[in-house]
A and B are shown apart, each in its own frame.
Chain A
Amino acid sequence: MELNQYMGMFLEESREHLQTLNRCLLSLENDPRNLSVLDEIFRSAHTIKGMSATMGFTAIAELTHEMENVLDLLRKGQLKASPAIIDTLFKCLDTLEQSVESIASNSEATVDIKPLVAKLIKLAAGKDQEEAAPAAAATKAATPVVATSSGITLNDTEIDVIKAASRQGYAAYEVQVGLREGCLLKSARAYMVMNALDELGDVIKSVPPAEELEKENFDYSFSVVALSDAEPEKVQQALLAISEIESATVLPLAIPDAAPAAAAAPAIKPAAAPEVRPEAEVPAAKLDAPPTADAPLAADKKVRGGQSVRVDIDKLDTLLNLVGELVINKTRLEQIGLSHRLTDLTETIEQMDRVTTDLQAVVMKVRMVPVGQVFNRFPRMVRDLSRDLNKEVNLIIQGEETELDRTVIDEIGDPLVHLLRNAIDHGIESPAEREAKGKNPVGEIRLIARHEGNNVIIMVEDDGAGVNPEVVKQKALEKGMITQAEAEKMDAAEAVRLLFLPGFSTAKVVTDVSGRGVGMDAVKTKIESLGGMVDVETKVNEGSRFKIRLPLTLAIIQALLVKVCEEIYAIPLGSIDSTINITPGDIKTIQNQEVILLRGQIIPIVRLGNVLGVPESGNEGAEELYVVIVHMGEQKAGVIVDTLIGQQEIVIKSLGKLLASIKVLAGATILGDGRVALILDVGSIMQ
């Protein structure tokens, strides 16, 4: 079978499942009795096992298989989720991740799984010594290998799996499949058989093995050992429904030493499971849930898989550009319709307007990804790092559903890693120190995302030591980055901002100061390259808050068009509070800064004509002034313009490399009449 075409899918899905595993293991660590999390872990591990076996990555399949054994014991309460076990499972995850990545990078380096497999087997066996009856141990020793009637031999682990499954009401079947003579695409038929069995339960073994089946190295029949909670007839029917299958015999497989449980298994349905293990009625009743809960969830997943498509981001970019062109042309048609008073045209355009708006919304949505995708990998990192540093940290994540454009998502991970590492390393104190300060010994780090106007805010807050501005100042002085005079003039907030200066980030300084700084300049550069801003607030002994502001990078936005003299500018609606009319008399000055009083708030005034150097500002003698109140975070300003043209959706175009460094502009757009209007960058106008 040609597997290369499935490689991308395999890698993506494996990564997804590994993420799920990571997340679930973390919550299992916090709540070892949470069975539903265990089930999820089990499912993910199982899926990885299945996929990797199909793809021929036996090492991964073997490791996940052993993981499943341990997980299964956990699930049944025969093993406790001790730190040792969780640690081992985390190591397995790391190894799996490594393996998947080495497959992805096509490298030959094989990851050695033997020590981990041995450890898992030992963990699984540990339970035998603790809990299982001595008889079981004896049987184990006596029958390492079981041969079935058709000559399939099962090894220890496989027998264990069958035994374990039978306790949950799954029966083991020996399935013999015969293909019609002269059947083409034998491997495909075999694949369909495996699939069908997988849907009804679980395939444990096949003769010949799966790889041989794929290579069509068999005659017209093969045998499979499978687990299922369905009745043999049903299994048989399912198999016979596959075309070109001549015969299918499904026989209950009795494991001689598995004693009554396995022998009785075929007849026992899930509901009857508690009877099999009367000695543990309560947990068994709970355990009863997994098989039933499993089914709908798995089905759910399949449906979703069938309905979603992975798309190359370049194609989405092209699509977005085309939608942008459409919006511009629509606006153009609107104007033609208006100026020529063509009612028919205007009506048609209204219709078209709705369609383009929807289309645009859909394209945007397709490109939007919840930040959770990035946030997901942090709990693990925080856990590992705080362990390494002997600190106790509680990571709280909020707003992971907040959506950002995909291009931003891809880039935002690294800066956040920096900030979180800093928070753990330098922010959060050791438990003893915290107690001495009268704080909860467990530190708290909050990672928060939320929308704010046309921006997304991501904050990393900790309740740690905070940064002492005086110490930062002192260090900056020593490094010759500021002068004594400058240092004296600086207030605390400015001093803390020194952390973002390049050169402040040499490791030595930072550990000495026990302040922030590892690569802070790198964080700042990265965020700014995304068109965002980063700022810090901190209080000694209370903690620090790093605030990142990112644009949504929506290529099409709502904007207010304004006129200054004869020039038209666009102000993004997201940063506009309101528009008001004032008279020149309303403008007061405070220390040479023009301000107005709006609902009791003092708001500084920006004369747009001056900022933009518009040749002749026409509002000199005007009786009435138009002011657009804009905001950036909590800060507000009033921008004086000559005329308000109105609200319109605009397509953001880049000004290009040549003009990229012009601060007050955020880009350009094309108006309905084909002229270019510039988009104002509210943030830099306010400075």
Chain B
Amino acid sequence: MAESTYADREIQLVIFKLGREDYGISILQVQEIKRILDITRVPNSPDFIKGVINLRGSVLPVIDLKKRLQLPPTDYTEDTRIIIVKVEEIAVGLIVDAVSEVTTLSGENIEPPTTVVGGVSAQYLSGVGKQDDNLLILLNLTAIVGLGAEVGKAG
């Protein structure tokens, strides 16, 4: 998977906040960033699926990223955003607390996820990036979107 093998090249990341932590996903996977929209609840869907939104005529599912990563919930604020990403041809929205910046990281500053313990369950991680004093948690979007059997089971 592209996102778990960062190798030696430089990658551009979109950095966003969940709670007090900084997270990053590859900018190549990000389609756009939207303010919070009307979200329609989808009955019998997994609990981390917040619902569906209308993005210029197509209907996209939206994932509550904090719920997915088992982080404590917080209310939406002015800064809350939906990041529209595309994973294996499927477009999905991710709700995040705030989008802070776009940054470039070189491969040597990224540690594989196995060396990190705690917090987010490791299966959703693809690595940890070091940027000055900051630590960036890099997400494995394929696992987060849950392209597999897991989503099928209604919550």
* Residues of A that sit less than 8 Å from B by CB: 324-325, 328, 567, 611-614, 653-659, 661-665, 668, 670, 674-678
Cross-interface CB contact of A657 among B40, B43, B53, B90, cutoff 8 Å: B90
Q: Are A567 and B60 in contact (CB under 8 A)?
A: no
A656 to B152, CA, bound (A): 12
What is the 8 Å Cβ interface bit string for chain B, positions 38-69, against chain A (1 contact, 0 not)?
10111111000101111001111100000000
Q: Are B90 and A658 in contact (CB under 8 A)?
A: yes
Chain B residue numbers with a CB within 8 Å of A613 are 43-44
Question: Closest CB-CB distance, B111 to chain A, in whole Å?
Answer: 30
Cross-interface CB contact of A328 among B40, B51, B52, B57, cutoff 8 Å: B57
Apart from A662-B44, A675-B40, what are 12 other A-B pairs with CB-CB below 8 Å?
A567-B40, A613-B44, A614-B43, A658-B49, A658-B147, A659-B42, A659-B151, A661-B154, A662-B45, A676-B40, A676-B54, A677-B40
Cross-interface CB contact of A662 among B57, B145, B154, cutoff 8 Å: B154
Q: Are B43 and A664 in contact (CB under 8 A)?
A: yes
Cross-interface CB contact of B42 among A325, A653, A654, A662, cutoff 8 Å: A662
Chain A residue numbers with a CB within 8 Å of B49 are 658-659
Question: Closest CB-CB distance, B32 to chain A, in whole Å?
Answer: 17
A663 to B51, CA, bound (A): 16
Chain B residue numbers with a CB within 8 Å of A659 are 42, 45, 49, 52, 61, 151
| CB of B92 closer than 8 Å to a CB of A | yes
Q: Are B57 and A655 in contact (CB under 8 A)?
A: no
Q: Are A668 and B43 in contact (CB under 8 A)?
A: no
Which of chain B's residues has its CB closest to A612's CB?
B43
A489 to B41, CA, bound (A): 39
Can you spell out 21 A-B residue pairs with CB atoms less than 8 angstroms apart? A325-B57, A613-B43, A656-B90, A658-B61, A658-B145, A658-B151, A659-B49, A659-B61, A661-B151, A661-B152, A661-B154, A663-B154, A664-B44, A670-B54, A674-B38, A675-B40, A676-B52, A676-B53, A677-B40, A678-B40, A678-B42
A115 to B27, CA, bound (A): 67
Chain B residue numbers with a CB within 8 Å of A663 are 44, 154
A328 to B58, CA, bound (A): 12
Question: Given that A661-B151, A662-B154, A675-B38 are contacting pairs, would A656 and B60 also be in contact in the complex, using a CB cutoff of 8 Å?
Answer: yes
Chain A residue numbers with a CB within 8 Å of B147 are 657-658
A678 to B61, CA, bound (A): 12
A492 to B50, CA, bound (A): 44
Number of interface residues of B (CB under 8 A): 26
A675 to B151, CA, bound (A): 24
Question: Closest CB-CB distance, A330 to chain B, in whole Å?
Answer: 13
Q: Are A653 and B38 in contact (CB under 8 A)?
A: no
Q: Are B58 and A653 in contact (CB under 8 A)?
A: yes
A656 to B58, CA, bound (A): 10
A654 to B75, CA, bound (A): 30
Which of chain B's residues has its CB closest to A680's CB?
B43
Question: Closest CB-CB distance, A98 to chain B, in whole Å?
Answer: 39
Question: Closest CB-CB distance, A185 to chain B, in whole Å?
Answer: 50
Chain A residue numbers with a CB within 8 Å of B53 are 676
4 closest A-B pairs by CB: A612-B43, A661-B152, A676-B40, A668-B59
Which of chain B's residues has its CB closest to A667's CB?
B59
Which of chain B's residues has its CB closest to A608's CB?
B43
Q: Are B42 and A665 in contact (CB under 8 A)?
A: yes
A24 to B29, CA, bound (A): 58
Cross-interface CB contact of A676 among B38, B145, B146, B154, cutoff 8 Å: B38
Among A653, A654, A661, A676, the most chain B Cβ lie within 10 Å of the Cβ of A676
Which of chain B's residues has its CB closest to A658's CB?
B61
Chain A residue numbers with a CB within 8 Å of B58 are 653
Question: Closest CB-CB distance, A257 to chain B, in whole Å?
Answer: 74
A676 to B41, CA, bound (A): 9
Q: Are B90 and A655 in contact (CB under 8 A)?
A: no
Chain B residue numbers with a CB within 8 Å of A662 are 42-45, 154
Among A328, A661, A663, the most chain B Cβ lie within 10 Å of the Cβ of A661
Chain B residue numbers with a CB within 8 Å of A675 are 38, 40, 54
Which of chain B's residues has its CB closest to A321's CB?
B57
Chain B residue numbers with a CB within 8 Å of A324 are 57
Which of chain B's residues has its CB closest to A660's CB?
B152
Cross-interface CB contact of B59 among A612, A614, A655, cutoff 8 Å: A655
A135 to B93, CA, bound (A): 89
Q: Are A665 and B43 in contact (CB under 8 A)?
A: yes
Which of chain A's residues has its CB closest to B42's CB?
A659
Chain B residue numbers with a CB within 8 Å of A567 are 40-41
B132-152 interface (Cβ within 8 A of A): 145-147, 151-152
Question: Closest CB-CB distance, A563 to chain B, in whole Å?
Answer: 13
Cross-interface CB contact of B44 among A328, A612, A676, cutoff 8 Å: A612
Among B38, B44, B51, B146, the most chain A Cβ lie within 10 Å of the Cβ of B44
A661 to B58, CA, bound (A): 18
Question: Closest CB-CB distance, A45 to chain B, in whole Å?
Answer: 48
A325 to B90, CA, bound (A): 21
A675 to B154, CA, bound (A): 23
Among A655, A658, A670, the most chain B Cβ lie within 10 Å of the Cβ of A658
What is the 8 Å Cβ interface bit string for chain B, positions 114-133, against chain A (1 contact, 0 not)?
00000000000000000000
Question: Closest CB-CB distance, B21 to chain A, in whole Å?
Answer: 25
A562 to B25, CA, bound (A): 40
Q: Are B45 and A668 in contact (CB under 8 A)?
A: no
Question: Closest CB-CB distance, B38 to chain A, in whole Å?
Answer: 5
Which of chain A's residues has its CB closest to B153's CB?
A661
A579 to B56, CA, bound (A): 33
Chain B residue numbers with a CB within 8 Å of A658 are 49, 61, 90, 92, 145-147, 151
A372 to B38, CA, bound (A): 46
Among A567, A659, A664, A670, the most chain B Cβ lie within 10 Å of the Cβ of A659
Chain B residue numbers with a CB within 8 Å of A657 are 90, 147
Among B57, B61, B152, the most chain A Cβ lie within 10 Å of the Cβ of B57
What is the 8 Å Cβ interface bit string for chain B, positions 7-46, against chain A (1 contact, 0 not)?
0000000000000000000000000000000101111110
A664 to B58, CA, bound (A): 20
What is the 8 Å Cβ interface bit string for chain B, positions 89-121, against chain A (1 contact, 0 not)?
011100000000000000000000000000000
Which of chain B's residues has its CB closest to A675's CB?
B38
Which of chain B's residues has its CB closest to A657's CB?
B90
